[in-house]
A and B are shown apart, each in its own frame.
Chain A
């Protein structure tokens, strides 16, 4: 009978969906490049005589560990010396390793590096930096397309020797927020690391 046939076809259809669905194996999603991550932030102080001092802050999991923690190397500078500070910012979780600084330089009108340091650790700039007070002195050497400070290159002249100082670097991400008066408190924080600072004879 026609009706029975149709019913049988329906059952076969249902049965085949059943069998098919019961055996389907999921396929892994495509590999993604973790683009939001910093694993290595390295400060590079280059003295006028070409001496280079490096201090690395490293988080091998890129902050994705449930027990994530990062290591920070101390900075040791010579007293009464002028250094130019530059950075290396890497994401080692992707292959090839990503130089995140390129992207920040591209978006220079959205970023600014702010600093905070133990008062008078430097003879130039003096004070304690521009994180607490955005008008604090910092010797910016680079500027964005709007003529506002960027901070991927800065100049520092150390004061006398000391062992107990700290040096905090804060990369602010301020899309549509960065102005001549915007402070570290505006927008978001890409990273914020405090390094121990020693100044030797």
Chain B
């Protein structure tokens, strides 16, 4: 073939002079992994550097050439392995690029990769491998906080949940390697048990992706993609070791992968230990963590058009929670609330005592991808997940877990992506999700949430119509969900209930390539979400507050709240959340910069939230009480990012996000909404500097404003002393006013030479005292002081 190519090149050169370009080389370039067309890949006819073109938005290219017949072309695309193939004029070729795991794919490249059917018109942003590996010990929540419009709610320094456009918890679907992460997704203190170091990229879909992914994606989705395991790749891997000053933490990790012609594999694991962290002025006692993870996968080419993939991952965490955040009684809690410094400060220790969480998660999955032809694919996926969670409180029986749950999830998905004509393509699929939750006996309290068996079946269809430079996308989905619930009343009498929800979801999207550098996306869609078990059935005292789910309390004839019995779904007025969201995104890419902004409006009927309702008197002292409630809510906001290249080596990036939200039913603010944030990055990136192959330095100042839309403040003491009376009709309040705005300076530096890389990451460089409105620990202590993290990477 080499000889043939050389011959053609020789011949081609000889006759090209005299002829005009009468022939074309046509083709479509796809990502071999995701089967998505690659936009902007550079196609060069070998030997004729001026005969080149970039693929268009459908992955197509067309290069005029002088000669007919086969010619060799080279295709390059950042993040993928360059490929040389021979194609023939006037016959459309299909070319697939294998992702290049070692290259540093940019954010833009990755985001295109996951732009699959049903999400084309949504705003998507991604974090690449480079950023993930630089943030060795970051949680999923904190790393996503780098994306505009995405923040995170924390429960101390170990537990973070992503918030997309003001929505979090079970309104955000976390798709771990294609499957809904099956965990105890309720409360603000349960973070997804995912080791982000096992992810190749993490993307955020900032909109109602419910049509494609189901009810859990009402507020958006977080998609992690694991190692692509390319075929025909030599044994490669990376090892990392790091140290961080705040908490005196150590971490280490290893990744290995290899690909043969028909088989490839990948294994990895990480270990992270960190002790008590500190605020600028004092230790944050019992904030250590211990995390282990192991993962592996294999890919088989059963035949040319049938690929099987198996993956397994495991993670175990022991997460400490600030000791001073919890008292065994309300009186102790009030003391903790009123203290300027945490009431319990001890010397540094790696020990993790109560309160803490002990969680483990297994995910085993199998995928089959069958390419009928280049335009039609069938995919079948199955996953089994087992999630164990034990939570320990400071109490007389502290050695017994107060929450001890095992949740198993089975997920069966099948879909068929097809091309009906040159202009219409789409995907049709179905999903069955089975969840089973059980309380392990021995907690010594009425189960906080009941046992349940959940079953959901879904069908969806998304079709895209291309018209010139624009694209229309229409999606429809139907979900049916049935739940069987059995728990214990506060008297220990058993109760049970069966109920089902079903709903149609629809979305209409539009993408316009206004001109080569400007893309406009618009998506209007409905979404829905049935209330989850915690929202319905939460009951009891945990972390020194008591919480009552929607079905755990009712108003009696006199208007007093009662909880003598559990209300059945049929007699309650509880309804599923229904959302209507409109997202618009404008993206302008120039030679030296990129500007992107998204504007959205989201109306959610029957929005479920929890709020304080007062303080009840108990023999143990006053106990702050919270209930779940429903109201119609409206969210609107804007995110923007502007990146520009000053010189070859210097670049800047500025971003910000603003969200306005309101309980429109009662015309009052919502609780725990993200405040306005503005951030800037000045980056220096130079190859071959001094002894190094590449040096990167960045300074990242950011400012977070005070949340001025927060509910009014009513102190616990005011309620106890009877200065304020609270009932169901009272205006929403919080026990503390939001903290003042704050400025943080972060930064990083990285130097690479050969296989070695050294990186330094600094968080809160000025050791600023601050409290984050979205951190539940703000009631008790300042946030983290300066942290310097040093890591050594070795890649081969």
List the A residue with the shortest CB-CB distance to B539. Answer: A64
Q: How far is the CB of B259 from chain A (nearest CB, A)?
A: 28
List the A residue with the shortest CB-CB distance to B397. Answer: A35
Q: How far is the CB of B554 from chain A (nearest CB, A)?
A: 9
Q: Which one of B122-130, B165-173, B439-447 is at the A interface?
A: B439-447
Q: In whole angstroms, how far apart are the Cα atoms of A69 and B562 in the complex?
A: 12
Q: Are the C-beta atoms of B623 and A24 separated by less than 8 Å?
A: no
Known: A57-B619, A64-B446. A27 touches B328 (CB 8 A): no
Known: A63-B623, A66-B562, A189-B332. A25 touches B453 (CB 8 A): yes
Q: Which one of A79-87, A122-130, A190-198 is at the B interface?
A: A190-198
Which A41-68 residues have C-beta < 8 A from chain B?
41, 57, 59, 61-68
Q: Which one of A14-22, A139-147, A154-162 is at the B interface?
A: A14-22
Is residue A29 within 8 Å, beta carbon to beta carbon, of the partner chain?
Answer: yes
Q: Are the C-beta atoms of B618 and A21 separated by less than 8 Å?
A: no
Which B380-428 residues have C-beta < 8 A from chain A?
394-398, 400, 410, 412
Q: Are the C-beta atoms of B487 and A28 separated by less than 8 Å?
A: yes
| A107 contacts across to B, CB distance below 8 A | 396
Is residue A33 within 8 Å, beta carbon to beta carbon, of the partner chain?
Answer: yes
Q: How far is the CB of B512 from chain A (nearest CB, A)?
A: 40
Q: Are the C-beta atoms of A173 and B486 separated by less than 8 Å?
A: no
| A164 contacts across to B, CB distance below 8 A | none
B: contact size bracket: 35 or more
A: contact size bracket: 35 or more
Of the candidates B396, B438, B455, the one whose C-beta lies within 8 Å of that of A36 is B396
Q: In whole angstroms, how far apart are the Cα atoms of A41 and B619 in the complex?
A: 8
Is residue A99 within 8 Å, beta carbon to beta carbon, of the partner chain?
Answer: no
Q: In whole angstroms, how far apart are the Cα atoms of A53 and B227 in the complex?
A: 74
Q: Which one of B74-82, B98-106, B236-244, B490-498 is at the A interface?
A: B490-498
Is residue A201 within 8 Å, beta carbon to beta carbon, of the partner chain?
Answer: no
Q: In whole angstroms, how far apart are the Cα atoms of A190 and B617 in the complex?
A: 13
Is residue B450 within 8 Å, beta carbon to beta carbon, of the partner chain?
Answer: yes
Q: Are the C-beta atoms of A63 and B451 separated by less than 8 Å?
A: no
| A193 contacts across to B, CB distance below 8 A | 619
Q: In whole angstroms, how far apart are the Cα atoms of A29 and B451 in the complex?
A: 6
Q: Are the C-beta atoms of B486 and A28 separated by less than 8 Å?
A: yes
| A66 contacts across to B, CB distance below 8 A | 546, 548, 552-553, 561-563, 613, 616, 625, 627
List the A residue with the shortest CB-CB distance to B430. Answer: A14
Q: How far is the CB of A147 from chain B (nearest CB, A)?
A: 23
Q: In whole angstroms, how far apart are the Cα atoms of A193 and B330 in the complex?
A: 13
Is residue A185 within 8 Å, beta carbon to beta carbon, of the partner chain?
Answer: yes
Q: Are the C-beta atoms of A192 and B432 separated by less than 8 Å?
A: no
Residues of A within 8 A of B (CB): 14, 17-18, 21-22, 24-36, 38-39, 41, 57, 59, 61-70, 93, 103, 107, 173, 175, 185, 187-193
Interface pairs A-B: 4 shortest CB-CB? A63-B618, A188-B328, A35-B444, A29-B439
Residues of B within 8 A of A (CB): 327-329, 331-332, 335, 394-398, 400, 410, 412, 432, 434, 436, 438-439, 441-447, 450-453, 455, 457, 482, 484-488, 490-492, 494-496, 498, 540-541, 546, 548, 552-553, 560-563, 613, 616-621, 623, 625, 627
